[in-house]
Structure 1
């Protein structure tokens, strides 16, 4: 295979963009195990007190992730996220206002491989979320597993991430006064296995937990579609029914995380590696669906709102697909 190397005269700003995305990919794939190893390694060095004191802190701070976390505006506003935004580039598209007197659940579709659009738009200030939606504070849900890693848990909380279990997700929605938006990648880890370029499969047909949560708290629903999310990585073909897909789904059911065999480009060459391609991601935030609070919705009410949400998501996709290079004959496939 002929390797296409990056030119030596690559401008500095593009190198900084690559470095920003590199640290993000490393954080997503390897920072948690690195922090765990560091925690135990320090116990056997003269810096053992660091791990001991952190363990004490962790004990008293254990419930913070399920109580809204600890979002740090300074971290969310760092220049590094602007470089990451410009690498692809990523943009946030507003279609309607969100009244800060209400709480919201934003359903993010599709998950993609590493949810680049969701993180950049809703965990950083790089694409202008706080200016487009004044008075709204966003919380992106992440697998609870990652909040069990020492040091790493604090880093992701600073970025506005909270666990995706029901208790943690419900906390911001239960706060009076409104202004909270919980962002859920509805398809979750399983949907990452369908994240192939040119595909528009949305794992939603049987996903009703977030709909029920919205009804229980009276939180308005907002469909979000991220055009280009599936284009930034290639993935080994894994059609349903193949031994690879069966293995991936089996591991996902055991570990709680999916293992898509993805690849794209490298740091200094464009032929192979785990760095995403420089392809645009446009995250379109739809109109809010008004939801009346009902602590014990009936099955019929739940199904009706779920169908309405799917219809609104489909309409959002159809309305904007032409702006982002999607063929007019292409439609969402609800799985």
Structure 2
């Protein structure tokens, strides 16, 4: 049913220009919801991954990791069911066991394209995606983590295990080489955006790496846009155990810039007791929302029911999350495709049928 807070219908083609920054499953989940409200989406995606099938292709072919970018393209794709099934297919035997066809397809396009970003653009055309997907940089980067006890580890896939071994918090992460240049199209998309959304996703391995690319933080600071951080629902084992909402915000400000955003959208849906107990066995728990500490950081926290439980796992609900972001955009009087709406206007995006 349509949300009662909406009454003004805007076609998706005229929907707000939204730049989303992150990586991992959280970003692709959000994109699945947002594409029902606007066609003007640009996903800016980290390329620091070095594990799994992406890591194998990165090592064997010397290309940026395709996995997070492929996930985002699949989320925004408008293809026949067979093509969608093909992109999701993972080989189960032989030397390709565990590798996804979508990764291999992007690798092949990279082989015949002058650059990785061109390969991503060509795959986007094949999948007829809504909006755009851009790598944050085309540089070959590694992620290094430094822990509070001074220990360091290089490699995104190694951070989880090293943190468990060191049993202390991550102090900071950095890219090697430091401050690679951002893709110009990513910087321009941030500049042009009506709304900039950070997350959801792994704090240190999916979101923050984007802020370490030269030009991204500066573009966010300079942009005339609503800037929102979508906080995770649960803490993440091997990365953010014990973190509150304000801990997440502090880490983003530390690696980016103080006041990089002033709104944090956080889940208010209760987590079923049995599900929470299972997460607790793995060292994870619902992220505690410490409103007073967030306020001291200059961030307004907006609590909304944006999470769901699917197959026993707590996830952001793509429809609920996207709807709350669009509602927030409309209520704060941000321009939509060249038109500005006041707080008193009611806005409803034209959902895709």
TM-score normalised to structure 2 length: 0.29
Choose between structure 1 and 2: higher strand proportion: 2
